[in-house]
Amino acid sequence: MRYLVTGGTSGIGRACADHLSRAGHSVWITGTTAQGVAAVDGVQGGSVCDVRDDSAVDSAVAEAVAGLGGLDGVFANAGVDGAGRPAAELDSASFLGVLDVNTVGAHRVARAAYPRLSRPGTILVSASVNAQRPEAGFTDYNVSKAAAVALARSLAVEWSGEGITVLALCPGYFPSRMTSAWLEDPVTSAELLSHIPAGRFGDLREIGETVEFLLGPSARFMTGGVVTLDGGRSL
**How does DSSP assign 3-21, residue by residue?**
EEETTTTSHHHHHHHHHHH
Identify the three-state secondary structure at position 38: helix
Confidence (pLDDT) at 183 = 77
Least confident of 38-42, 160-164, 176-180, 195-199: 176-180
Look at residue 84 and tell me if it is in a domain.
yes
**Is 113 within a domain?**
yes
The whole-model pTM stands at 0.95
In this structure, what CATH number is given to the domain that contains residue 154?
3.40.50.720
Which structural domain range is residue 101 located in? 2-229
Residue 2's DSSP bridge partners are: 26
Contact 195, 132 (CB under 8 A): no
120 pLDDT tier (thresholds 50, 70, 90)? very high
- Asked if residue 131 is part of any domain, the answer here is yes
Task: Write 178-187 long-range contacts (CB < 8 A, 24+).
Answer: 178/11, 178/80, 178/81, 179/11
Q: Would you say residue 106 lies in a domain? A: yes
pLDDT of residue 205: 95
Q: Assign 43 a pLDDT band (cuts: 50, 70, 90).
A: very high
- In this structure, is residue 160 part of a structural domain? yes
Specify if 234 maps to a domain: no
Is there a domain that residue 139 lies in? Answer: yes
141 among known catalytic residues: yes
Please report the pLDDT score of residue 181 as a whole number.
Answer: 75
Of 3, 114, 141, 173, the active-site residue reads 141
Per the structure, the count of domains in the chain is 1
99 lies in some domain: yes
